[in-house]
Amino acid sequence: MVLKLGEALNVPIQPDDIEISNKLNARNNPIIVKFLSHKVKSNLYKKRVELKNVRVSDLFPTTSYATAIGRDNRLFPNENLTAYRRRIVTKANNMRKDDLPSSM
């Protein structure tokens, strides 16, 4: 999945760039990936906005999983943050939306 995602976003990812990946047992089956290189992770994360029109079924057209999760099977790459860091990012994003100067 990660290699296909990189291919769709024109981010070169090799299997050797991935240290480990795990599929979580959550409602929407997220995948956590740990990259060996911060540069690869950053390149992929920066291009995530280009995923607006990419669906799982586009990456895997013959897979039954892609059709089983419905037509709106979008991809959402996110940082895996601790609760504390997630609150900081949320606070910073809210300040940015409100055009407030940062006072952290």
Domain total of the chain: 1
Task: Evaluate whether residue 33 is within a structural domain.
Answer: yes
Task: Evaluate whether residue 69 is within a structural domain.
Answer: yes
Task: Evaluate whether residue 54 is within a structural domain.
Answer: yes
Name the percent of the chain lying above pLDDT 90.
13
Task: Evaluate whether residue 95 is within a structural domain.
Answer: no
SS3 content of the chain, % helix, strand, coil (to 5): 50, 10, 40
Q: What is the pLDDT of residues 56-104, one digit of tens each?
A: 777 777 766 545 555 556 677 777 778 898 899 889 888 888 876 655 5
Q: Are 81 and 89 in contact (CB under 8 A)?
A: yes
Task: Evaluate whether residue 98 is within a structural domain.
Answer: no
Task: Evaluate whether residue 25 is within a structural domain.
Answer: yes
Supply the range of the domain harboring residue 10.
Answer: 2-78
- Quote the pTM value: 0.63
As given in the structure block, the two tokens for residue 78 are 């996110």
User: Tell me, what's the pLDDT at 56?
Assistant: 75
